[in-house]
Structure 1
């Protein structure tokens, strides 16, 4: 699993398109396009699956569930995604999240919970990912 994180509009999508351009068989799933959080990737027959907009899916979870349940659902997603990726040697999962942890702490309880859950979720995925890149201004820095 390859986790990509960076600020909004900092070139994550363009960097990924360039980095993974050699792969013909890709499937892009984006929360920004209204796609639901894919827990099970078994229906995707592509060698590369790219999940974009993790922070949006996490916000949707925080609207319905408390922080602990959100973390449980997220841990289940990561486990399912790892299982899918490891089931075939040519499979690669790329997960993209926008960093929402910087700046002023939100006053509203629901926005603080979203920020907290997203921070924990990013820590969890970073610990499980084999590679982590931060993208700022279109440039990557590999941190794992």
Structure 2
């Protein structure tokens, strides 16, 4: 599992395309930006290769509509575990998660926005811990974190 994070419009998707030779418009590029639901590995039959999940902060935002923070963290933990198991089934499989860092800067005044930011930060921490690789992308330049 490879976690990619960085600022908005800083070249994360382009970097992933170049590193993995994947096409952003393939069915193996699942984008929360485009309204794709959070996929469950047991419900989908993906071929071997690289699968990319983009915009994970949007899935957090969607989950906050009908779930409490602890429920979201539990669901995210299960999501990560399921995809780790999917990866382990075949050596050719790789999961790449892309999330825009929304945890820096001015703390939002509204409690809903603060909650969104806090839960997203926790989800990103879990994702970083679960990932074997992590890169930070700023202005198209990567910095290997893990």
TM category (shorter chain) comes to over 0.9
Aligned to 2:105, the other structure's residue is in SS state coil
Superposition deviation, residue 26 in structure 1: 7.3
**Which residue does 2:75 correspond to in 1?**
73
Q: Post-superposition shift, 1:115?
A: 0.6
Residue 35 (structure 1) aligns with = 36
The partner residue of 1:98 within 97, 100, 105 is 100
Residue of structure 1 equivalent to 2:66: 64
The answer to whether the 8 A contact 1:85-1:92 is kept is: yes
Q: Which residue does 2:115 correspond to in 1?
A: 113
SS in 1 for 2:65: helix
Closer/same/farther in 2, CA of residues 90 and 63 from structure 1, 3 Å limit: same
Shift of 1:110: 1.3
Q: Cα distance, 1:39 vs. partner?
A: 2.4
SS of the residue 1:61 aligns to: helix
Gaps of 5+ in 1: none
Provide the TM-score with structure 2 as the length reference: 0.93
RMSD: 1.6
Partner of 2:145: 143
Displacement of 1:22 in angstroms is 7.3
Aligned to 1:131: 133
**Which region of structure 1 is more displaced relative to structure 2, 33-42 or 125-134?**
33-42
Quote the offset at 1:104 in angstroms: 1.0
Contiguous gaps of at least 5 residues in structure 2: none
